Amino acid sequence: MFLEVKNLTKKYSNKTVLHSLSFGVDQNKILVVLGPSGCGKSTLLSCLNGFITVDEGTVFLDGQNITKLYPEERDITTVFQSYSLFPHMDVMQNLMYGLKFKKISRNDARKKALKMLHLLQMDEFSNTKIQDLSGGQQQRIALGRSLIVEPKLLLLDEPFSNLDEKLRLTMRHELRQIQKELNMTMVFVTHDQQEAFSIGDQILVMDQGQIQQIDTGQGLYSTPKNHFVLKFIGDSNLLDNGEYIRPEDIVIKSDSNGDGRIEQMDFQGSTINYLIKYKERVFHVTCLNRIEPLKVGTHVDVQYKVSKLEEK
C-alpha cells in the first residue's frame, strides 16, 4: 500500500482519542474518513501530517517510515478547514509559497502557479488580494497551494464545510476531476455522508477513535458491519435480531384492504417520505415522486425486503 498506517494510537493525558488504527490507501485513490464530530478525524490527520506526535504505531508513506518526521519534512500537504491562506500575500504568492522550499527557479515557479490557476479556472485572479476572493475561490487557492508542490499525499480536513450547499457540490466534482488529472493520493475528512459517497474510492467510518468499517460507499450501505455503521449511513427501520429494512426497500400501494396506514407525508421533491403504521409498528418509507402523493390516512398494501447485519 502507498500509505500504510499500523496500530496508530493517540492519547491526550489519559484519554485515548485514537485506538490502534490500521489501514492503508492505494496510490492515486481517495480515502474518505467519515465520522461524527469529535470522533478523532482531525487528530488522525494531524498524526499523518506530523503536527502531533503519536503515542504508538507507525506511518509509512511510499515505503518510507515517516512516523517521527517533522511536518515540513514530510512529503504531505494539508488543506485546512479555515483555508489558512496567508493574508499578507496575493494569490500568486500564496500559490508559489511551497515552491520556495523546492529547488526550482522563480520563473519555473511562476509558470507552475499560472498553470495551477488555469487548472483551478481562476486565471484572471493572479494578482488579487486574498481578502477580495469569495469563500469558494479561497478554497480553490488553498487547494492549489497544496497541490502545486506535488506532494505524495494530500490531506483535506472538512475543506468544503464553510461553503454553501451548491458550491459544495461543484467543489466535490472539481476535486475529483483534479485528482484524476494530477493522479493524487488523498485522505479526505468529512462528517457528511453524501460528500463521502461522492468523493471516496474507499470510506473509513470512524467512531470514538475506532475504525468501524472500511469499504466502498456501496459496500457500506448494502453490507454494514455493525449497528453504528447501519445507523450512521443512510436511514433504516430496525427490527429485532440485527434485522433491518431500508426505507426504499418498502413498496406501498394504495389499497383499501391493505394493513398499512399512512401516518405522515413529507414532500421532498424528487422523493416523498412517508411514515406508515404497519402491524403495530411505525416504518419510514421513501418513494420516488412518480405517482400522486398518498394522503394521510390512506390504507396501503405493504411489501418489503428484510436485510440482516453480518454477525461478527
By CB under 6 A, is residue 151 in contact with ligand ADP?
Answer: no
Which residue of 101, 131, 281, 312 would you call a contact of another protein, by CB under 8 A? 101
Count of positions on this chain that bind another protein (CB under 8 A): 25
Q: Would you list the DSSP string of 268-306?
A: -SSEEEEEEEETTEEEEEEEETTSPPPPTT-EEEEEE--
Residues 172 to 201: which contact another protein by CB under 8 A? Answer: none
Choosing from 3, 5, 8, 17, the residue that interacts with ligand ADP (CB under 6 A) is 17
Grid cell listed for 223: 453490507
Distance CA 213, CA 205 (A): 5
Other CB atoms within a 10 A radius of the CB of residue 199 amount to: 24
> Is the distance from CB of 264 to CB of 209 less than 8 angstroms?
no
Residue 137 or 212: the one with the smaller Cβ distance to another protein is 137
Q: Please list, in sequence order, all residues whose beta carbon lies within 8 angstroms of the beta carbon of residue 63, skipping any fewer than 6 positions away.
A: none
Asked if 305 interacts with another protein (CB under 8 A), we say no
51 binds ligand ADP (CB under 6 A): no
Applying CB under 8 A, does 87 fall inside the site for another protein?
yes
Sheet containing 250-254, strands listed edge to edge, beginning at the edge strand earlier in sequence: 250-254, 299-304, 260-267, 271-278, 281-288
Q: How far is the CB of 65 from another protein (least distance, A)?
A: 19
Task: Determine, following the binding rule CB under 6 A, whether residue 50 of this chain makes contact with ligand ADP.
Answer: no
The Cα-based distances of 116 to 100, 154, 197 in angstroms read: 16, 16, 27
Is 135 an interacting residue with respect to ligand ADP (CB under 6 A)?
A: no
- Kindly state whether residue 70 participates in binding another protein, applying the rule CB under 8 A: yes
Task: Please identify, using beta-carbon distances, which residue of 19 and 191 lies nearer to Mg ion.
Answer: 191
- Which residues between 40 and 99 bind Mg ion (CB under 5 A)? 42
Q: Which three cell numbers stand for residue 40?
A: 478523532
43: helix, coil or strand?
helix
Q: Is 41 near ligand ADP (CB under 6 A)?
A: yes
67 φ/ψ angles, rounded to the nearest 5 degrees: -50, -35
Q: Which is nearer to another protein, 144 or 260 (CB)?
A: 144
> Could you give the angle at which helices 135-147 and 106-119 cross, rounded to 10 degrees?
130
Question: Rounded to the nearest whole angstrom, what is the least distance from the CB of residue 42 to ligand ADP in the complex?
Answer: 3
Residue closer to another protein (CB basis): 109 or 272: 109
In the list 25, 32, 34, 43, the residue contacting ligand ADP (rule: CB under 6 A) is 43
Supply the minimum distance, in Å, between the C-beta of residue 216 and another protein: 29
- The contact set with ligand ADP (CB under 6 A) reads 12, 17, 35, 37-43
